[in-house]
Amino acid sequence: MLVTRIVLALRKFYQWSVAQIAFGFLTALKIFPADAAINFADRLMRWLGPKTRRHRLMQVNLRNAFPEKSKEEREAIALASWGHMGRLAAEYVFLDRLFDFDPEKPGEGRVEVSGVEQFLDLRDNPRPFIVFTGHTANFELLPVAGAAFGLFVTVLFRPPNNPYIAEKVFEFRRKRMGDLVPSHAGSSFALARQLEQGGGVGVLVDQKFKKGLETQFFNNPVRTNPLLAKLARQFDCEVYPARCIRLPGNRFRLEIEPRITLPRNDKGQIDVTATAQMLNNKVEAWVREYPEQWLWYHDRWDIKRSI
């Protein structure tokens, strides 16, 4: 019993220490202009990332996803992906300043938006809908953009494993992104209530889900969360793909695409498995277009234990 308490105390101290280092680093970045801080974080992670255990997982993921690419090409993608992760962390500090889209001056800011008419239609004609995205570029900017247009959605998110970091991230996101629902056993009920009330829901669909449906992602078997498909079938609501793309010069393009038509079975109901595969296909197409902007260090294929 004493040993258990000691182990838990040490683990708690370790998590607290890691959180303080992360907070200290991000606080220090505030001293610098946004562009300088973001570029520094990119260079730092390109140097630090390959020295971590996760780099090996990243290399395996890239080899399985792009067997046709050379080792040098995959390593270049890996390094760039580490850089984008550094940027994502640094951009948290400046998120309020980064989103500067002005509908009256669409080409003058750091952010450009494709599909403004879709944002406005969903805002001005309230109805239940689901917007899905993947871990591409700064995906956090999408709900920020929605809020800026007056379109508030309830966002499902997975809290970081570190509880101290999770608390800070939750507070940060809640102030800028509207309602948040941590991913847990009861999260589906919270999202269902939002749709039942005629609201919108935002979901990341490329996370690992051990109990998910058997599907394919980059021609490799993967399990996919059926939640979006089940909600869409239950409420027969509209579903929209959306993504963020990083552009040169620390700029961004946010895209909300037209409504997609979900596959249905012989009974006319939305086919849950086929829909899950369709979501994977959409995210895969995004990733193939900008492979360095996806978070390859995620254990999406649940292979970490085998390497």
DSSP 158-182: PPPSSHHHHHHHHHHHHHHHS-EEE
- Quick: pLDDT tens for 121-144: 988 888 999 999 999 999 888 888
Q: Which residues of the chain, if any, have pLDDT below 50?
A: none
Q: Name which of 289, 305, 288, 282 is nearest 62 in CA terms.
A: 288
How far is residue 244's CA from residue 226's CA, in Å, rounded to a whole number?
Answer: 23
Residue 165: per-residue pLDDT: 60
Residue 252 and residue 108 share a domain = yes
The secondary element (H helix, E strand) that includes residue 290 is: none
* Adjacent-strand bridge partners of 217: 220
- pTM of the model as a whole: 0.87
Q: Write down the pLDDT at residue 101.
A: 77
Q: Does 81 lie in the same domain as 144?
A: no
What range defines the domain where residue 57 resides?
A: 2-93
* 121 occurs within a structural domain: yes
Q: Are 158 and 68 members of one domain?
A: no
pLDDT at 12: 65
Tell me if 205 is assigned to some domain. yes
Give yes or no: residues 255 and 140 share one domain: yes
135/280 same-domain check: yes
Sheet hosting strand 238-247, strand order edge to edge: 111-114, 251-256, 238-247, 129-133, 200-204, 153-157, 180-182
Structurally, the chain folds into a number of domains equal to 2
Does 239 lie in the same domain as 189? Answer: yes
- Position 56 scores a pLDDT of 93
Task: Say whether both 49 and 12 belong to one domain.
Answer: yes
Asked if 222 contacts 215 with a C-beta cutoff of 8 angstroms, the reply is: yes
Give rounded-to-5 percent helix, strand, coil for the chain.
Answer: 50, 15, 30
Q: Which residue is listed with tokens 């879709």?
A: 118
Query: CA-CA distance, 34 to 192, in Å (whole number)?
Result: 38
User: Under DSSP, is residue 253 helix (H, G, I), strand (E, B) or coil?
Assistant: strand
121 and 88, same structural domain?
no
Identify the pLDDT of residue 69.
96
Beta-bridge partner residues of 91 = none
Whether 129 and 238 share a structural domain: yes
Note whether residue 302 is domain-resident: no
Q: What are phi and psi of 248, to 5 degrees?
A: -55, 150
- Does residue 99 fall inside a structural domain? no
Kindly write down the DSSP assignment for every residue of 100-149, as one continuous string.
Answer: ---TTSTTTSSEEEE-HHHHHHHHHS---EEEEE-SBSSTTHHHHHHHHT
Domain boundary among 93, 128, 159: 93
- Is the domain of 120 the same as that of 81? no
Question: How far, in Å, CA of 197 to CA of 235, rounded?
Answer: 11
Sign of CA dihedral 16, 139, 99, 89: positive
